[in-house]
Amino acid sequence: MPTHSFKPTHYHNTIGSHPPVLTIAPGDTVATTCVDASGLDQHLQQATPRGNPMTGPFFIQGAQEGDTLVVRLEKLRPSRTSGWSGVVLASGVVDPDDVPALAQARGEQRRLDWEIDLVANTAQLCSPAGRLEGLKLALDPMLGCFGVAPSRGQAISTATSGPHGGNMDYRGFREGVTAYFPVLAEGGLFFLGDGHALQGDGEITGTGIETSMEVRFSVDLIKGQRIEWPRGEDAEYLFTVGNARPLDQCVQHATSEMLRWLTTEYALDIQSASQLMGQCVRYDLGNIFDPAYTMVCKMPKKLLESLPR
Amino acid sequence: MPTHSFKPTHYHNTIGSHPPVLTIAPGDTVATTCVDASGLDQHLQQATPRGNPMTGPFFIQGAQEGDTLVVRLEKLRPSRTSGWSGVVLASGVVDPDDVPALAQARGEQRRLDWEIDLVANTAQLCSPAGRLEGLKLALDPMLGCFGVAPSRGQAISTATSGPHGGNMDYRGFREGVTAYFPVLAEGGLFFLGDGHALQGDGEITGTGIETSMEVRFSVDLIKGQRIEWPRGEDAEYLFTVGNARPLDQCVQHATSEMLRWLTTEYALDIQSASQLMGQCVRYDLGNIFDPAYTMVCKMPKKLLESLPR
Amino acid sequence: MPTHSFKPTHYHNTIGSHPPVLTIAPGDTVATTCVDASGLDQHLQQATPRGNPMTGPFFIQGAQEGDTLVVRLEKLRPSRTSGWSGVVLASGVVDPDDVPALAQARGEQRRLDWEIDLVANTAQLCSPAGRLEGLKLALDPMLGCFGVAPSRGQAISTATSGPHGGNMDYRGFREGVTAYFPVLAEGGLFFLGDGHALQGDGEITGTGIETSMEVRFSVDLIKGQRIEWPRGEDAEYLFTVGNARPLDQCVQHATSEMLRWLTTEYALDIQSASQLMGQCVRYDLGNIFDPAYTMVCKMPKKLLESLPR
Amino acid sequence: MPTHSFKPTHYHNTIGSHPPVLTIAPGDTVATTCVDASGLDQHLQQATPRGNPMTGPFFIQGAQEGDTLVVRLEKLRPSRTSGWSGVVLASGVVDPDDVPALAQARGEQRRLDWEIDLVANTAQLCSPAGRLEGLKLALDPMLGCFGVAPSRGQAISTATSGPHGGNMDYRGFREGVTAYFPVLAEGGLFFLGDGHALQGDGEITGTGIETSMEVRFSVDLIKGQRIEWPRGEDAEYLFTVGNARPLDQCVQHATSEMLRWLTTEYALDIQSASQLMGQCVRYDLGNIFDPAYTMVCKMPKKLLESLPR
C-alpha cells in the first residue's frame, strides 16, 4: 500500500465539506504534520490563525454515506521541543464559588510554557516552576481533534465535537489506536490536528500540553456499516465515544453505541450485552471543557473473545 | 487495638442520627456482616425490608463535627454463594429512544441470578445464560453504600448519596482502600452495607452482583481536619468523590475537593495543583443510576511523592 | 369547620417524621406564623437557628401513605415591615467566567435590607440603594418551603426539595393556591416556612425578599389518590412540580406528572394529552439555586373545561 | 424605506455563509414566504428536502462582525389551511420509564394533521380526533428557526441553535417582536423558516403545529454593539436567549446576557441589576427537544422605565 507524504499549505478551523487536499485509497498510509491549537508549527512560526487548525481534508476513494471510515494512528509524535498549557483549572470544572480564587491565581497570565524532551520522552514546566520545578512527566501524545465532514453540508467549528468526531480531547486517541468514524459525506473527508504531548482526563485546564505533531495514519473502509458515534479500539478495549452536554448525555450516547456494537457485530442479545456491560464496563472522561463534552464507554476485548460462540 | 465482633440485629434504610449499635475508639477494628440490597442475609433469609439496609451505626469516641473519620476496609468478602443483578441496562443510561427495546428485553423479569464461587473467586450467570453460559467473571467485591450521619439531624435514604457518603456505588471502594468522611454529627455514626461481588463503572443495570458480605474495617480520626466530600486512598491513587446530578456537578465537587487536598495537605499553590491535575488527573464514574450520581477524581500518589519538597 | 390558632414554640430544619405540634382533621383551618429563612420572627428576634426553620408538623387525621394531602393557602402576609435579600446573583446562575465580577461586587456584604410597606403592599431597598433608590416593587408573598414528611423515615434538610415538596422556592405558591402533596407517612405531617415577600423566577440571588409571615391554611384529604410529585392549582392553571437537578430532569418529572394527571383524572388518552400539552403547556422556573432545582408544568384549566365530554 | 418582495427559489438546511439571495439596507422591509419544517410550501408541494429549510440569506449592507442586527417581525401568518404535529410527547421530556408507553401510543404514526382556520384564527385536529374532537385552539404564529450566519465560516444545521440564533423554537418569537442577533459574518446573512401556527412551551411533542408562512420583516443595524446571545423585545419585556444543554446552561447564558444588557445599556451596577433581576425576572422555556435547548430571561420594560435616572 502506498505511503503518501503530505505537507500542508493551509488549514481549516471548521470540519466540513471543504476541497480535499489529497485523495487516497483504502489501505493507504499518510505521513503528515499538524500545527498546534494556536496555529504554531514545528518552528514556532504562526502558520495559520489560532483555534485548532486542521490538516486536511483527505478524500477517501469509495467512501459514501453509510460506510465506516477506519483510521489507524500509526505514529504520533511531537515535532518540536516546546509546548504550552492553560494556567489554572477551567472555571466550569470546579464548584462555582471556587472560580474567583482561580481567576486570581491566573492573573494576567494566558499560558505556561513546557519543555519537551523527545529523547527522554518527558515534559517539564519551564523555570520558574515553583513547586513543580524539575518535575518530569512522561509524554503520552494524543490527537485532541480529528474526524470527518459532518452530514448535510454542515461546517462545524473545531472547538466542538459531535457524531463526526471533532474536538473530543480524549487522551485515549494515542498512537496505536484504531478509530472508526461514520462516513457522513462523499469521500469521508478526514481532518486532524490539535496535538497534545500529554493531557489528563477531562482537559480540565482547557488544554493539554499543546504542541505541533508528526503524524502517520492509515485508512480503511467498512462498506455498508453505519455507526452513529465514533468508535475506537486499542490493545485492551473496544470503545465508543459520546459527545454532548451534560456528561450524562455523553454516557447515554456512548452506552447506546456500545449496545449497538455488541448486539450487531457480536450478535449478543440485549440481556447478555446488558450483563456484560453492567458488570465489566469502564468509562473514561474525555473532556469536560469544550462546548460539547466527551465520555467514552469501554469493553475489555479479552472478555468478548472469551465468549462461547 | 481491640477487634470488635458485631452481629447486627436490625438495620436502617436511612443514614442518620440513629442510636448507635456499638461504641468504638479510634484505632479499633470491627468484624461484622451486611445483608444484600434487598435485605437477604448469608442464608438467603429476609433479615429486614429491602432498600440497601445498613449495618450500624457505629459511634466513634471523640468524633466531632469538623473532624475527619478514617475507615479502612480491611476485608470485604461475599458471605454466600449467590448474587443477583438487574436484567437490562437502566432506562436513564441509554438514549431515550432505546428505552422501549430494553423494556421489551426485560419483560416481566425482575432479577437475574448469579452463582458465586468463593474458591475460584468468580461469578457466573445461572443457567440458562444464553450467550453468557459458562462465562466466569473475576470477583471484585465492593461496598455500594457506606458513610456517616449527615449534618443537622438529616436522615437520608440509602438510595442516594451526598457529602456524607451513602449510596455511591463506586467499585473503587474495595478491600484495602482507606475512605475518609467528614464527621457531621457527634460520634460520626458510621453505617455500611449494599455489597457487590462485582460491578462495572456506572452501575448501569441498576445493580452490581448484589450479595451479602463479611466485612472487617478499622477506624481512625483526624481531629480538626474538615473535608467537604468523601475522600479515599488506595495503593496507587488519592481520590475524591463528588455525589450530585448531573455528572458535571459531580466532577465539580470532586475536582474542587482534590484542589483543596493538594493546596492544603500538600501545600501546592493553585497554579501548581492545576498543572498536576490538568496533565495527570483521572476520573472514574461511580454510578449513573442512583438519585445522586458519583464521579471520582484521582491523583497518582507516586506523582505527589516525586514532588520536590 | 374549626379554625385552629397555632403559635409555634419550636421549629425544624429538616422535614421528617417529627412529633406533631397539632393534630387536625380534613377540612380544618390553621392560622399560624412562620419565622424567616434565618430564624428571625416578626419582632426581628432570633427565634431559632437559621436555615429555613419550619413551623409544624401538623398531623392530619386519617392521612395514610397513598393518599393526597390538599393544602389551601388561604392567607399569606408578611408579619413585619422589613425583609432581606442576597446581594448579587448566585454564582451558579451565570456563566462561570462572570463569577469573579459578582464576587467583587458583593464584597463583604452578606445581605441587603428591604423596607416592606404593608399598606401600600410594596417593598423598597433601604437607603442608600443607588440606582434603585425609591423604587417600589409590588409585593407578591409566597411560601418558599413547605411540604410533608418524606417516605421511609427520611428527614430531609429544608435547604432542598423532593417528591415531598420542601424548598421549592416557586413564586406560584402564593395566597389562593391549592397545593397537593403525596402522603408518605402516617398523618401526612405538614410543615411550612421560608416566606418571601417577593421573588422573581429562579430565586437567582439565592433569596427572595425574606421575611416572617402570617399564614392561614386549610387542609383536606383525597383518600386513595397516589401522586408522585407535588401538584397545585390556581385560578388559571393546574400545575405539577418537579424537583431535581439538572432543570431537564425537573421538566421530566413535572411533565410525567401532568401526563398522569390528564390521563387519569381527566381520562385523556396519551395521544390527546400529548397534543394538548404540546400546543398549550407552560413551564415556570421555580428555583435554580437550591440543591434541587424546581420546574413547574402548567395547563390552562379553561382548556380542560372546554374539552368535549 | 423600500419593501422588497422576495420569492424564494431554493432553501438551506444549514445556517452559514451561503451566497445571499438578496441584499438589503438597514431600514428595509422584506415580504417573503417560508416552507414548513418538512419542506412543504403553501400548496403542500415538496419545495425542498425536509429539515427546517431556510429562506435566505439576506445580506444587510454595512453589517460587520461586532454589530448587532435588528429584525422586526412585522407580520407572521400561516399561508395555508393545514398543519401537522408530532404524535406524542418526545422521549426526552418525560421520565425515562414512561418512554415505552409513549412509544406504544404512537405506534406507526408519524404525524397528526391539523386544520387551520385563517378567519377564526384557530386550529383543530383533523377527525377522528378522539377526546379533542372539535376543540379549537387559538393560533399564535411564531418562527421556530431564524438567525444569522455563525462565526468563522461555520455552517450549522437548522436542527440546532447557538449564539447565532437558529432553531430556538421559542413561542415568544411572534409577530410584533423585535429580535437582536450578533453580526458574526460580513453582511449578517439573515435566514428564517420553520413556522409554527401554535406551540406550547418546550416544543415537547418535537413540533408545534408546523405550517408554511407569510412573513414580513424589517431590519436595522446597531453599529459597534457587540452582543453574545440573541436578544428580543416585545410590548412588555426585554428578553435574552440562551441556547445550550442542559437547561441550566441556557439559564446561565441568558442570565449573563441580561446582566450585560442592564449593566451596559441601562448603566446599572451589578448589585442593582442583581436585585432587579432577583425579585422581578421571568424565565420562559423555549424548547427542550432540539440538540440545543433554549431558555429565555425576561425583564419587564415598565420596571426599567420606572428607574430613577
Instruction: Say which of A14, A152, A244 has its CB closest to residue D153.
Output: A14
Overall residue count recorded for chain D in this entry: 309
The DSSP secondary structure of D86-125, one letter per residue, reads: -SS--TTSS-GGGHHHHHHHHTT---EEEEEETTTTEEEE
pLDDT at A203: 98
Q: Is A49 on the interface with C (CB under 8 A)?
A: no
Confidence of residue A113 (pLDDT cuts 50, 70, 90): very high
Domains assigned to chain D: 3-81+141-222 (2.60.120.580), 86-138 (no CATH), 231-305 (3.10.28.20)
Q: Is D100 on the interface with A (CB under 8 A)?
A: no
Instruction: Say which of D151, D156, D245 has its CB closest to residue A154.
Output: D156
Q: Is C259 on the interface with D (CB under 8 A)?
A: yes
Average predicted confidence (pLDDT) for chain D: 97
Q: Is C157 on the interface with B (CB under 8 A)?
A: yes
- Percent of chain B clearing pLDDT 90 (strictly above): 97
pLDDT at A309: 67
Q: How far is A117 from chain D (nearest CA, A)?
A: 35
Is B3:B18 a contact under the CB 8 Å cutoff? no
Instruction: Say which of D90, D100, D246 has its CB closest to residue B99.
Output: D100
- Could you read off the pLDDT of D128-156 as tens digits, one per residue? 999 999 999 999 999 999 999 999 999 99
**Burial grade of A45 (CB within 10 A; 0-12, 13-18, 19 or more):** exposed
pLDDT at C308: 77
Is C268:C276 a contact under the CB 8 Å cutoff? yes
Instruction: Mention every residue, 6+ apart, whose C-beta is less than 8 A from residue A286.
Output: A168, A169, A170, A171, A172, A201, A202, A203, A241, A243, A250, A293, A294, A295, A296
Name the B residues in 10-39 with CB < 8 Å from any C CB.
13-14, 16
Q: What is the mean pLDDT of residues B237-242?
A: 98
Residue B309 has pLDDT above 90, yes or no: no
CB contact under 8 A, B100 and D97: no
Q: Is A108 on the interface with C (CB under 8 A)?
A: no
- Percent of chain B clearing pLDDT 70 (strictly above): 99
Q: What is the mean pLDDT of residues A117-122?
A: 98
Residue C41 has pLDDT above 80, yes or no: yes
H/E run at residue D302 = helix D301-305
Is A67:A221 a contact under the CB 8 Å cutoff? yes
CB contact under 8 A, A96 and C100: no
Q: Chain D partners of C93 at a C-beta cutoff of 8 Å?
A: 251-252, 255
Chains that touch A (3 or more CB pairs under 8 A): B, C, D
- Could you read off the pLDDT of D183-228 as tens digits, one per residue? 999 999 999 999 999 999 999 999 999 999 999 999 999 999 999 9
Q: Is D94 on the interface with C (CB under 8 A)?
A: yes
Instruction: Say which of C96, C200, C245 has its CB closest to residue D280.
Output: C200
Confidence of residue A308 (pLDDT cuts 50, 70, 90): confident
Average the pLDDT over each of B143-147, C250-254, D125-129, D248-252 and give the range with the smallest value. D125-129
- Give the residue on C whose Cα is nearest the Cα of A103: C100
CB contact under 8 A, C14 and B51: no
Selected residue of A154, A167, A293 to mutate for chain D interface (largest D Cβ count, 10 A):
A154
Q: Chain C partners of D283 at a C-beta cutoff of 8 Å?
A: 201-202, 284-285
SS3 D259: helix
Q: Is A198 on the interface with B (CB under 8 A)?
A: yes
Q: Chain A partners of C99 at a C-beta cutoff of 8 Å?
A: 91, 96-97, 99-100, 103
pLDDT at B12: 98
CB contact under 8 A, A100 and C99: yes
Question: What ipTM goes with this model?
Answer: 0.97
First-to-last C-alpha distance (Å) of chain B: 34
Selected residue of D48, D157, D290, D293 to mutate for chain A interface (largest A Cβ count, 10 A):
D157
B216 or A309, which is more confident: B216
Q: Is A253 on the interface with B (CB under 8 A)?
A: yes
Instruction: Say which of D99, D104, D246 has its CB closest to residue B96.
Output: D99
Q: Chain C partners of B16 at a C-beta cutoff of 8 Å?
A: 155
Q: Chain C partners of A99 at a C-beta cutoff of 8 Å?
A: 91, 96-97, 99-100, 103
The DSSP secondary structure of A248-267, one letter per residue, reads: HHHHHHHHHHHHHHHHHTT-
CB contact under 8 A, D89 and C135: no
Q: Alpha-carbon distance A69 to A80, whole Å? A: 30
Q: Chain A partners of D157 at a C-beta cutoff of 8 Å?
A: 151-152, 154
CB contact under 8 A, C155 and B157: no
**CA atoms within 13 A of residue D153's CA, in its CB half-sphere:** 11
- Could you read off the pLDDT of C90-103 as tens digits, one per residue? 999 999 999 999 99
Q: What is the mean pLDDT of residues A68-82?
A: 98
Residue A284 has pLDDT above 70, yes or no: yes
Q: What is the mean pLDDT of residues C167-184?
A: 98
Nearest alpha-carbon partner for B80 in B215, B216, B212, B174 = B212
CB contact under 8 A, B156 and C152: no
- Using left for φ > 0, alpha for ψ between -120 and 50, and beta otherwise, residue C278 falls in alpha
Instruction: Mention every residue, 6+ apart, whose C-beta is less than 8 A from residue C107.
Output: none
pLDDT at D309: 66
The DSSP secondary structure of D150-181, one letter per residue, reads: PGGG-BEETT-EETTEEE---TT-BTT-EEEE
Q: How far is A33 from chain B (nearest CA, A)?
A: 23
Average predicted confidence (pLDDT) for chain A: 97
Q: Chain A partners of C252 at a C-beta cutoff of 8 Å?
A: none
The DSSP secondary structure of C260-275, one letter per residue, reads: HHHHHTT---HHHHHH
Q: What is the mean pLDDT of residues B99-105?
A: 97
Residue B1 has pLDDT above 80, yes or no: no
Instruction: Mention every residue, 6+ apart, whose C-beta is less than 8 A from residue A82.
Output: A44, A113, A114, A115, A116, A211
- Could you read off the pLDDT of D75-99 as tens digits, one per residue? 999 999 999 999 999 999 999 999 9
Q: How far is B249 from chain D (nearest CA, A)?
A: 11
Instruction: Say which of B152, B155, B245 has its CB closest to residue C153.
Output: B155
- Could you read off the pLDDT of D165-193 as tens digits, one per residue? 999 999 999 999 999 999 999 999 999 99
Q: Is C279 on the interface with D (CB under 8 A)?
A: yes
For B172, C67, C258, D202, the CA distances from C297, given in Å and listed in that order, are: 40, 22, 7, 10
- Mutual angle of helices C99-106 and D270-280, in 10-degree steps: 100
